[in-house]
């Protein structure tokens, strides 16, 4: 209910506009029947008015989940408002190109998705996570850094992805940013996000399990991307759709937005819904017919 209360004013505005339009329609219909001298009991119009107003209010109540099916494909795109760690399916975990995991002195923030995953699934056992990551990275190219004393010194390419399984849960750790020796992001850019997403889908397409994938709005926390959360959301959706044109990499993409971020960052949920609706109905078909390989590395 807290989510509904925090987002009630945009809903009320939408309700008022829709209700006024509906009343106008009812009045017009009433006048039309009067003009034709057709006697319709006024109680019928009052019932229609009451039912219509109630329906509008119920329909406009903020939802926590919006589901769209990609046209002519057995693939769903879902927007969820809530905590991604409660998701039962595989989760994409944004990380850095050195795959550092240390949380001392807030090197990896406990408030980040990575920090929360480590705290919930690897608490007091980060060394296990490090071993799993290192094993997955054995054949990945890297650059050795000389300025790291208390953190990892192997830097991997943007978009490098490792699959980690723990307690029946699957995670895809995705390198989407470079950091310095203090854990601060270096030169954050939307291009890094675009490249990281492209390589993520490529990796999942090659070694994944054609299963639902949950992903947060990456790059909008400590990474410090200037672009709005709406723009990053659209980037995620477009990239996923573009990379599903030749091979199904997932049955569902579930994009999570934290409910507190909607009010804090003035996120326009309706804009996101309209983009999802348009992309699922038209953009997939356009990309499928284009054959230009847009968004595919």
Question: Percent of the chain beyond pLDDT 90?
Answer: 48
pLDDT of residue 294: 42
Nearest to 232 by CA among 285, 280, 176: 176
Three state DSSP letters for 201-254: HHHHHHHCCCCCEEEECCCCCCCCCCCCHHHHHHHHHHHHHHCCCCCCCCCEEE
Average pLDDT (196-211) is 94
Average pLDDT, the chain: 86
CA atoms lying within 13 Å on the CB side of residue 23: 9
In sequence order, the β-bridge partners of residue 156 are: 142
Strand extents, DSSP E, 158-289: 161-166, 169-179, 185-186, 213-216, 252-257
249 falls in which pLDDT band (50, 70, 90)?
very high
- Report whether pLDDT(273) > 50: yes
Q: Which residue has the higher pLDDT, 192 or 4?
A: 192
Q: Is the pLDDT of residue 156 over 60?
A: yes
Note the pLDDT tens digit of each residue in 8-57: 555 566 667 877 887 888 888 878 878 887 777 888 878 888 888 888 77
Length reported for the chain: 297
pLDDT attached to residue 33: 79
pLDDT score recorded for residue 31: 82
d(CA 281, CA 24): 31
Of 257, 276, 256, 275, residue with least CA distance to 265: 257
pLDDT of residue 62: 67
82 vs 92: CA distance, rounded Å: 15
- Both tokens of residue 194? 């675009």
Q: What pLDDT sits at residue 30?
A: 79
pLDDT at 297: 43
Q: d(Cα 223, Cα 281) in Å, to the nearest integer? A: 32
Does this model's pTM top 0.95? no
Helix (H) or strand (E) holding 123, with range, is: none
Confidence of residue 245 (pLDDT cuts 50, 70, 90): confident
Per-residue confidence (pLDDT) for residue 233, from 0 to 100: 94
Q: What is the pLDDT of residue 5?
A: 52
Tokens 């934290």, located at residue: 258
pLDDT bin (cut points 50, 70, 90) of residue 287 is low
Indicate the angle between helix axes 8-35 and 42-60, nearest 10 degrees. 160
> pLDDT higher for 32 or 224?
32
Residue 296 has pLDDT above 60, yes or no: no
Q: What is the mean pLDDT of residues 61-87?
A: 90
The mean pLDDT value for 78-88 works out to: 95
Q: What angle in degrees, to the nearest 10, is found between the helix axes of 229-242 and 269-278? A: 20
Exposure pattern of 181-190 as b/e (b: 16+ CB <10 Å)? eebebeebbe
Query: Which tokens in the block code for residue 235?
Result: 């980037």
Q: Given this model, what pLDDT does residue 41 score? A: 82
The share of the chain scoring above pLDDT 70, in percent, equals 88
User: How many Å apart are CA 202 and CA 214, to the nearest integer?
Assistant: 16
Convert 253-265 into a string of H (helix), E (strand) and C (coil). EEEEECHHHHHHC
With 0-12 / 13-18 / 19 or more C-beta atoms within 10 angstroms meaning exposed / middle / buried, residue 49 is middle
Neighbours of 235 (CB within 10 A): 20
Calculate mean pLDDT across residues 160-174.
95
């Amino acid at each position: 209910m807290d989510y509904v209360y925090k987002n009630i004013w945009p809903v009320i505005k939408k309700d008022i506009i829709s209700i006024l339009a509906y009343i106008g329609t009812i009045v017009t219909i009433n006048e039309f029947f009067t003009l034709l001298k057709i006697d319709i009991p006024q109680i019928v119009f009052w019932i229609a008015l009451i039912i219509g107003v109630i329906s509008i209010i119920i329909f406009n109540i903020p939802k926590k989940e919006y589901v769209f099916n990609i046209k002519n494909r057995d693939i769903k795109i879902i927007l969820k408002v809530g905590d991604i760690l409660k998701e039962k399916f595989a989760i994409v975990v944004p990380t850095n190109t050195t795959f550092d995991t240390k949380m001392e002195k807030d090197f990896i923030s406990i408030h980040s998705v990575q920090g929360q995953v480590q705290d919930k699934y690897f608490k007091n056992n980060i060394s296990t996570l490090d071993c799993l990551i290192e094993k997955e990275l054995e054949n990945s190219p890297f650059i050795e850094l000389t300025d790291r004393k208390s953190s990892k010194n192997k830097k991997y390419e943007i978009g490098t992805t490792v699959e980690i399984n723990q307690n029946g849960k699957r995670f895809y750790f995705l390198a989407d940013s470079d950091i310095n020796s203090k854990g601060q992001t270096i030169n954050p850019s939307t291009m890094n996000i675009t490249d990281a997403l492209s390589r993520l889908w490529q990796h999942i397409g090659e070694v994944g399990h054609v299963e639902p994938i949950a992903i947060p709005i990456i790059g909008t926390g400590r990474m410090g991307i200037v672009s709005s959360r709406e723009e990053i959301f659209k980037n995620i959706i477009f990239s996923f759709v573009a990379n599903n044109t030749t091979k199904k990499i997932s049955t569902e993409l579930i994009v999570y937005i934290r409910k507190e971020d909607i009010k804090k960052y003035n996120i326009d949920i309706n804009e996101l819904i309209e983009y999802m609706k348009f992309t699922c109905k038209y953009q997939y078909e356009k990309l499928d017919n284009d054959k230009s390989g847009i968004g595919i590395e």
